[in-house]
């Protein structure tokens, strides 16, 4: 298998016009395929296991911007803290505190997105509306975390063919984004709505996404 270059060119052209960032989701794919996209000029890649991410980071060019898009356990933050560009799936203050602690060790400020649970499936991680409200309200605790920045929200729609349902879920996430972007904590600077994958990115962009995470469309189906 190799990268679908034609799909990449078509996708990236459209996304650039709409000022949407493409995170190429390279989980389970070999470094050779990541390199193919890198040679085409692509720099943003997403992985969802810390070990796989750390290994690929060590094997590939240093100017790649690595996105962590999986569920992050507190004891794994240390594996990626020295280099990660953006952590998409944060869903607790405890995790933010650990990211802050690890970032500080490297003299870095790590950008984070809060994951919001918008799908109807039970299995997906993330905060609900109340949890987001509660976390955002912890202004003193958040302000103390000088080595992180909360830059927006991330969400995954339900796994369904019902486009109206998907649209409604993305719309809901964008509403939460707009509401919470008004907060005035120094390290709470909303700018990114990460929503949309291979099957639903067009709907996500129509509903206000400015960062899509796309894997199978570029790399083919995962085995
Ligand atoms: C795997 C994954 C994607 C990409 O999914 P595709 O359907 O292959 O585009 C996006 N976001 C997250 C969080 C993922 O785990």
How many angstroms separate the alpha carbon of residue 140 from the centre of ligand 1?
Answer: 34
User: Collapsing DSSP states into helix, strand and coil, what is residue 172?
Assistant: helix
Closest residue by Cα to atom 10, ligand 1, is 213
In DSSP terms, which residues pair with 45 in a beta bridge? Answer: 24, 66
DSSP string, 51-113: HHHHHHHHHS-TT-EEEE-SPPPGGGGGGTTTT-SEEEEE--HHHHHHHHHHHHHTT--EEEE
- The set of protein residues with a Cβ atom below 6 angstroms from ligand 1 is 25, 27, 48, 69, 156, 197-199, 213-217
Report d(CA 77, CA 100) in Å as an integer.
Answer: 10
In DSSP terms, which residues pair with 213 in a beta bridge? Answer: 23
Report d(CA 203, CA 156) in Å as an integer.
Answer: 12
**Percentage of residues in the chain with pLDDT exceeding 90?**
92
Q: What mean pLDDT do residues 73-88 have?
A: 98
* Single pTM value for the model: 0.97
- Mutational test site, ligand 1, from 25, 46, 118, max ligand atoms within 8 Å of CB: 25
11-37 per-position pLDDT tens digit: 999 999 999 999 999 999 999 999 999
The token pair that represents 4 in the structure block: 């679908």
Specify the ligand 1 atom closest to the Cα of 88: 13
Specify the ligand 1 atom closest to the Cα of 214: 9
Q: What mean pLDDT do residues 120-140 have?
A: 90
* Nearest of 60, 140, 125 to residue 89 by alpha carbon: 125
């Amino acid at each position: 298998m190799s990268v679908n270059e034609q799909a990449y060119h078509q996708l990236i052209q459209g996304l650039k016009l709409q000022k949407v960032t493409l995170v190429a989701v390279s989980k389970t794919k070999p470094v050779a395929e990541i390199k193919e996209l890198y040679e085409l000029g692509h720099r943003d890649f997403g992985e969802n296991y810390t070990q796989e991410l750390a290994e690929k980071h060590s094997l590939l060019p240093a100017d790649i911007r690595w996105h962590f898009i999986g569920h992050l356990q507190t004891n794994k933050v240390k594996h990626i803290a020295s280099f990660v560009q953006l952590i998409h799936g944060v869903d607790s203050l405890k995790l933010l505190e650990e990211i802050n602690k690890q970032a500080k060790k490297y003299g870095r400020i790590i950008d984070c997105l809060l994951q919001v649970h918008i799908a109807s499936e039970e299995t997906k991680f993330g905060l609900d509306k109340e949890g987001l409200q509660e976390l955002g309200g912890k202004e003193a605790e958040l302000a103390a975390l000088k080595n992180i920045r909360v830059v927006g929200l991330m969400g995954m729609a339900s796994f369904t063919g019902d486009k109206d349902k998907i649209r409604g879920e993305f719309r809901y996430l964008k509403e939460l984004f707009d509401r919470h972007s008004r907060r005035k904590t120094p390290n709470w600077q909303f700018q990114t709505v990460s929503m949309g994958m291979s099957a639903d990115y067009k709907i996500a962009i129509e509903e206000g996404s400015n960062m899509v995470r796309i894997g199978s469309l570029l790399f083919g189906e995962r085995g």
